[in-house]
Chains A and B, each alone.
Chain A
Amino acid sequence: MTSEPAILTHGLTKSYGHDDAVRGLDLSIGRNRITAFLGRNGAGKSTTIKMLLGLIRPTSGSGTVLGKQITDAEQNRRMRQRVAYVAEDKSLYGYMTVQQTINFARSFYSDWHVDAEKKLLLDSELPANRKVKSLSKGMRTKLALLLAFARRPELLILDEPSEGLDPVGIEDLLRTLVSCSADGVSVFFSSHQIAEVERVADHICILDKGCLLMDASVDQLRQSYRRIDMVFPSPPPEREFQISGVKRIRTAGNQVRIFSSGNAEAVVERARNLRVVSVEVAPVGLRDVFLETVREN
């Protein structure tokens, strides 16, 4: 049971008229890890997540979450018992108080941990008897996240969880994510905060214009992506560097900067054969990997 992916989609597509919000998505999100879903605004991340949870119907394609078909209403409902989700808009009922909201959410889930709830409520300093409509945005975000983190589901899906949080709140969020993961919860979250993703994610998926551009382990990216800065006695032709793995070549006079997704050694060797004067190989942060990947598209 635990060997199947937490989320699996085949050719998942959502079109609105002529626009494809999501195109032929083949997603495979593994269990027992923290996977981040990166993409520009409008890339289709929220649309994908909504399809997984049954809020939207796919135009074509299929998917399963925890083994249950997303397009079958009853299977999807049973799956939602084992999944905790926090929407991008952090929806809450304005007319309920903080405590009423917690009591309400608690009544639906058997995986609720009352001690986790009490601790989170204490740490968040949320006023138990205040109505949600009079909470600040940050407090509302904390409450919406609390409703998910007070549970120990099999899968946690978060859509832009750090939006609306101050740096301390973000640190608490990441620590809680890590804590959930240590308890065996599979975590899938979409985010713009690349610095945060870089710290805690085991795996990332990059979505752009509805298509999956990358599905890789963060460690593997760290080991293979390199930026190579070289200075030559005279400008070499770019075609010399059309080696596999090279993503981008930029030249400025005698300087060449290469961005490669692997095989940096081959580039350096070619450079030496061309009598390079200086070579510097540097690692590439996740932000640059993301920007380059999306720019290519």
Chain B
Amino acid sequence: MEYEPVIGLEVHLQLSTRTKVFCGCSTLFGQSANSQTCPVCLGLPGSLPKLNAEAFRYAIKVALALGCEVQRFVKFDRKNYYYPDLPKNFQITQFDKPVAFNGEVILAYKDAPKMIRIKRVHLEEDAGKLIHEAAGAFSLVDYNRTGMPLLEIVTEPDIASPGEAYDYLVSLKAMISYLGVSDCDMEKGSLRCDANISMRPRGTSGLGVKVELKNMNSFKNVRAALEYEAARQAKALISGEKISQETRLWDVDKESTASMRSKEEAHDYRYFPEPDLVPLVIEKDTIEDIRREIPELPAAKAARFAADLKLSEYDAGVLVSDSRTAGFFEETIKLCGKPKAAANWITGGMMAEANERGVGIGGLGVTPQGLAGLIDMIEKGAISGKMAKDVLTEAIKTKKDPAAIVGSKGLSQISDASALEPIIKSVVEKNAKSVGDYRNGKLNALGYLVGQVMKETGGKANPALVNELLKKIIERV
């Protein structure tokens, strides 16, 4: 009996507003403990929340970008449970009247795009941070993060494999990066993901017992955890065991999931309407205002790159995966008008360099002007393609402009036929055997001769020109 996974994902996105969702404390990351708190986010007796208008706007923006139905009547509710990172021992969230329902993310698989339905999008407050002393008898609490605005995005259980889960997260992050509402950085904790997975016999449509997975801190770890869990559940089901509905934590060192020891039954959150916040009515005008702020999103942009700029779907997809990359690309082609070349440079080496350094493409120190200039120089034959690769590496290392590097190192390609001819003549004279081989049909011999010319010119000769001139001179002789 073969089993297939049924997966749903819950993503929590920290919104990049200046202040927290219900008070005016700063949202700056990485500050010293308990330096960004006030009576409201500390939940001191007598304090009252007030909704951050910008956070609410961002929530609507994300919902619209996900194609959701933004609701007209929206309210907040209390989710009641005890935990030391929750100062009030309840979280202000949205239960039955969230910001939006029913959206979708389309995974652009060639020939078989997959739609992942978004069940709902809602706004809530984040909790604080607990630090557990390894050896000691204490835990420590930092409330700086309490009250940060979180957007929860929940999918239907439409995801059919750990790979699809990974792709969904990549697509979601790509799309959100265009909206300017969040850093979407799993390492900084501004994007968090929990997963729900159950297994069912392949080809059936029911739902098995679902297990919740937590503690995955990267997209790759989400995929790995789901792979592990799918295998674990399948194995158990095959041997006739029942799956317990529980929460399991991913252990990245052991590469496995483990059940959370829980002394209690399922939480009874006793949701009820938050009496300290009044309801919200979202007018159509407001929705359209916000919709107008949404830029061209990745799916549309990739389609346009493929159709209008004649890029491959693959290249287009890579370029739009991050809004900064897409922006860099668009700036570059504005200046040099060579989309294929720009795409090759960006997807070919620059993105890898950026990822390795943990920065966006702009963080490499090469500007769109610099890249456009480099592409121009190649086009004009001022330098060779190989040379250009070295120039780029140097530009990334030193943050100097590529044109300046070419100038200072005298790397200009020799594209002057009159300068090359004497060298070529000399190579031809010195390599009579190869010339003879070439004349007899051994075409590789030409390559060898080109190599010799390159050696003589310290690699600066324009290889295409050398090729052409060599043939001419050999013919003449």
The answer to whether A and B assemble together is no
| A interface residues (Cβ-Cβ under 8 A, vs B) | none
